[in-house]
Structure 1
Amino acid sequence: MGLVPIDVLLKKADAEGYAVGAFNCNNMEIVQAIAAAAEAEKSPVIMQASQGAIKYAGLEYIAAMAKLAADSVSVPVALHIDHGTSFEQVMKCIRAGFSSVMIDGSKLPLEQNIALTKKVLDVAHAVGVSVEAELGKIGGTEDDITVDEKEAMFTDPLEAERFVRETSVDALAVAIGTAHGVYKGEPKLDFDRLKKIKELVKIPIVLHGSSGVPDDAIREAVSLGVGKINIDTNIREAFVYKVREVAAAKPDEIDPRQILGPAREAAIEIIREKIRLFGSSGKA
């Protein structure tokens, strides 16, 4: 079917009250797992490349694998850069064929974040690429990006309204109590804040750091207007735990396919579970 911008996927999700899963891919098996899970669930899906994935696999490899995966399924697939660190990096992703990009200026003062986002938007929209931005800092660590808990800052609803008004960004990642990585305890999401943001901001809202958030909280977030939900840690856990299990059961196995194949199946299952949780199953 080919790659599509997230704007196409999220507008439909926003109108119909479900969320589209954005799943981080680090290698071929996880790319295959995302595509297979989406096809099995007849769901739209977003493949995301993080900073770590780009460093590990290479930008061109990630783009080529995602394009091939999108062409092999009947459901709509977007390829998205997660936490783009600079204008220059985002431009490289667009040139590589990404259908969507995120520019993360959340550590900048509001005016500078707006200016950077507008600069990206001017180029991206001209070539049909969607743009996600972030307002407020999401705690935790994702690859090379770390936000200390003391620095984590919830998104101000009025700032969100101004940000969207001045940038016309396609989707906005907000900080309402989630964190990247493994949670130390059960996260407590600020649903009142989310509700207020959605009342003021008429575009899809993005929830980062969603691995480990209880299912009931995810459902509540979707009901309040979250249209894109990012998952990385849960996929890594399912994949690596299965690798360890197979390696322990078969210590003499030297065929990578016999180890990575079951890990791919484990990734498919957790992604399918998330797709059903987000309500996007059957929405392709």
Structure 2
Amino acid sequence: MTLATLREVLQPALRDGYAVAGFVTLGWEDMRAYVAAAEAEKVPVILQAGPSCRAHTPLPVLGAMFTWLAEQASVPVVAHLDHGHSIDECREALDCGFTSVMFDGSRLPLNQNIEETATVAELAHSAGMSCEGEIGFVGYADGESSDGTDPQEAGQFARQTRVDAMAVSVGNVHLQQQKSDGLDLDRIRAIEAATEVPLVIHGGSGVPLSERRTLSKTTNICKFNIGTDMRMVFGDALRAAVKADPDQFDRLQILKETHDPMVAAAREALRSLRSG
């Protein structure tokens, strides 16, 4: 069994200058492909259940799916709750077998964000699991605007919450289909001067592969969340499968055609985060 906590995979990454992919999952087909890709590349992987995934599939089912995949895998697999918006939701995820929870208090006033994130971190640590928090606000493409992370607040947040990883807003944007012009390296360096906690980039799909590679090696960014890139690959493969055989109606046969493209895309993403 290779079920791992977030801390167990991010601390070696911080020490050795690489990052781990946090793949945003929506169902069995993609999470299975992500583990296959990680095994092929011989690297750890983080399977993430975000709000849209949880709206479709209950937490106990997701916890069981993640755990089963981890038990079969030859590489460390983290079962991670992404964007938990309440303490109760994070507690439920821990009860369902998740090894890591992210409490998203980024829309809250600073003191409330610190207080509630610290509560979740204590819950996770008491269970032997990990916690990620967010300071600053990472916006959404064609939606809410970002609020960049204040380095001094980041240092305070890290000290008072005792999180194992900290998501920051440094020019990254959720759900971005086009690549960005680059993250704010000066802000990243200022945050690093305030805390040594491993940093997380949400909206990693918007960061070019070459920049992911450089940041993984040269900064304390140890985790890139990647979702939109993979959803686009899945959608393209699904459309191609349906068009190739208009008479095919068996969903299992159709979905099988998404596996190899997803594995290939995930392997490319994983290679961009390696130290070598």
Calculate the TM-score normalised by the size of structure 2: 0.96
Corresponding residue SS for 1:153: coil
Q: Contact 1:155–1:174 (CA<8 Å) still a contact in 2?
A: yes
Give the Å deviation of 1:32. 0.8
Q: Contact 1:177–1:187 (CA<8 Å) still a contact in 2?
A: no
> Which of 144, 149, 159 is the equivalent residue of 1:148?
144
Instruction: Provide the residue aligned with 1:11 in structure 2.
Output: 11
Give the Å deviation of 1:118. 1.0
Runs (4 or more) in structure 1 with deviation over 6 Å come to none
Instruction: Provide the residue aligned with 2:185 in structure 1.
Output: 191
Unaligned runs of 5+ in 1: none
Instruction: Provide the residue aligned with 1:135 in structure 2.
Output: 135
Instruction: Provide the residue aligned with 1:126 in structure 2.
Output: 126
Deviation string, structure 1 residues 84-118 (Cα, Å, up to 9, x no partner): 10101101101001000000101111111100011
Whether 1:271 aligns to 2:266 is yes
Rounded to whole Å, the distance in 1 between the matches of 2:202 and 2:215 is 12
Q: Contact 1:138–1:147 (CA<8 Å) still a contact in 2?
A: no
Rounded to whole Å, the distance in 2 between the matches of 1:185 and 1:265 is 24
Q: Contact 2:83–2:104 (CA<8 Å) still a contact in 1?
A: yes
Rounded to whole Å, the distance in 2 between the matches of 1:279 and 1:184 is 23
Give the Å deviation of 1:188. 3.1
Corresponding residue SS for 1:270: helix
Q: Contact 1:154–1:176 (CA<8 Å) still a contact in 2?
A: yes
Give the Å deviation of 1:280. 6.4
Whether 1:161 aligns to 2:121 is no
Give the Å deviation of 1:158. 0.8
Calculate the TM-score normalised by the size of structure 1: 0.93
Rounded to whole Å, the distance in 1 between the matches of 2:53 and 2:8 is 25
Instruction: Provide the residue aligned with 1:173 in structure 2.
Output: 167
Rounded to whole Å, the distance in 1 between the matches of 2:198 and 2:158 is 11
RMSD after superposition: 1.5
Instruction: Provide the residue aligned with 1:69 in structure 2.
Output: 69
Distance change in 2, residues 1:118/1:138 (3 Å):
same
Q: Contact 2:172–2:206 (CA<8 Å) still a contact in 1?
A: no
Instruction: Provide the residue aligned with 1:24 in structure 2.
Output: 24
The within-5 A match list for 1:239-258 is 239-258=234-253
Q: Contact 1:140–1:179 (CA<8 Å) still a contact in 2?
A: yes
Whether 1:237 aligns to 2:237 is no
Give the Å deviation of 1:212. 2.9
The within-5 A match list for 1:96-135 is 96-135=96-135
Give the Å deviation of 1:217. 1.9
Rounded to whole Å, the distance in 1 between the matches of 2:102 and 2:96 is 15
> Which of 215, 218, 229 is the equivalent residue of 2:212?
218
Q: What is the count of residue pairs matched by the alignment?
A: 275
Letter of the structure 2 residue corresponding to residue 18 of structure 1: Y
